[in-house]
């Protein structure tokens, strides 16, 4: 009688190869809408895997039925994360007690970033294409803040206090929202950047 070991080995190998060839879990369950947005040629520093991972964890994203719903949900995520960053800067200013103008500037600018995301949500709900301009302004506010704290951000400390690592997260969602509203198949198909 033949030993069952070779059969087990063959079954294990076949199962393992099928597992390796299957799509990644996030990609396997992401909706066609999310996959199509994440496949857009994003000029931002964002790849497909990051895009799917960032979006698919949220229930609002999973329930989005069209680009507008997806854009609103993405902007809500951006606003929530910008609020976290704003709170981090306010906390950093309070803890360091240094009155550092760069940290104060970032706190002020991130207040504008949060407001910008809120206005973008409201305008997208009304189908106004000013959303793209607002998202460009949000990016400018973020960049000014990032440039102000860039050296400390590189070391992750500022006056001995940890600089918020959340500073990049709102812009991840902003980049995705901009792809949704202005990409080649986006809602408003904005061509070009504002200076």
pLDDT tens digits, one per residue of 86-122: 998 888 887 766 667 888 888 899 999 999 999 999 9
- Read off the pLDDT of residues 152-168 as tens digits, 9 standing for 90 and up: 544 555 555 556 667 78
Cα separation, 78 vs 80, in Å, equals 6
Residue 139 has pLDDT above 50, yes or no: yes
- Residue 37, pLDDT score: 86
- Domains of the chain plus CATH, in order, are 27-182 (1.20.140.40)
Where in 65-150 does DSSP place strands (E)? none
Residue 64 has pLDDT above 80, yes or no: yes
- CB crowding 155-185: b at 16 or more within 10 Å, else e: eeebeebebbebbebbbbbbbbbbbbbbbee
- Residue 17, pLDDT score: 44
pLDDT band at 127 (very low <50, low <70, confident <90, very high): confident
- Residue 22, pLDDT score: 41
pTM: 0.75
């Amino acid at each position: 009688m033949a030993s069952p070991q070779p059969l087990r080995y063959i079954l294990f190998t076949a199962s393992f190869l099928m597992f390796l060839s299957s799509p990644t879990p996030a990609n396997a369950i992401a909706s066609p809408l999310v996959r199509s947005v994440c496949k857009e040629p994003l000029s931002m520093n964002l790849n497909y895997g990051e895009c799917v991972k960032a979006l698919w964890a949220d229930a609002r994203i999973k329930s989005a039925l069209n680009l507008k719903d997806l854009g609103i949900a993405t902007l809500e995520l951006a606003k929530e994360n910008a609020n976290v960053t704003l709170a981090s800067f306010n906390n950093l200013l309070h803890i360091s007690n240094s009155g550092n103008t760069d940290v104060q500037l970032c706190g002020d600018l991130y207040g504008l970033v949060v407001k910008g995301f809120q206005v973008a949500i409201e305008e997208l709900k009304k189908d106004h294409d000013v959303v793209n301009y607002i998202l460009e302004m949000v990016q400018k506010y973020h960049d000014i803040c990032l440039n102000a704290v860039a050296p400390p951000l590189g070391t992750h400390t500022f006056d001995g206090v940890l600089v918020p690592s959340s500073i990049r997260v709102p812009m991840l969602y902003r980049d995705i929202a901009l792809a949704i509203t202005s990409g080649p198949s986006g809602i408003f198909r904005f061509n070009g950047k504002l200076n």
